[in-house]
Amino acid sequence: MNKEFNDNELNLIRRYLVWCYKTTKEDLDRIDRYFTQFTVDSHLLESLKKEKVFKSDMKYKDAVKQFEQYMHEKIDKARQKKFVDNKEELNTEYVYLQNRMVAIENTISKLLGEEMLKEIVRLYEEEMTVRILQAREH
């Protein structure tokens, strides 16, 4: 731990850095998740199209085609948030988020230690998984 600060100051610093990590990671994930989802969705689509029912049932085929259209609309919107043009240049806001994330991680390591950084990353991933598992349809 950092001897430069008293316990209360370290707690305040830790909480602020947890908040910085969480909000910045959420902003980055809001963009990046669509690219990983597209990879997963592509595998799902391939599997759905291989089913025998795809050739014989028009309603099934339409549902698969709607899913495919949704996939492409979703990735197109994500590309607009991440890139200035066709995957050539990253959007300035995205670059800022990436650099902010690195700066936050470096600051956590410097002020609170590598173990605290690992703990914050673990807690964030745990929280995101819990949110997904607890989500309810209304």
In a domain, 108, yes or no: yes
> Is 0.75 surpassed by the pTM of this model?
yes
Residues 6+ apart with CB under 8 A from 33: none
In a domain, 85, yes or no: yes
Contact 56, 126 (CB under 8 A): no
The whole-number pLDDT of residue 71 equals 97
The whole-number pLDDT of residue 137 equals 67
Mean pLDDT by 10 residues, the chain (138 residues): 85 98 97 96 98 96 98 94 86 97 98 97 96 82
In a domain, 1, yes or no: no
Domain range spanning residue 116?
7-133
In a domain, 52, yes or no: yes
In a domain, 42, yes or no: yes
* Domains identified in the chain, total number: 1
In a domain, 2, yes or no: no
In a domain, 72, yes or no: yes
The whole-number pLDDT of residue 3 equals 80
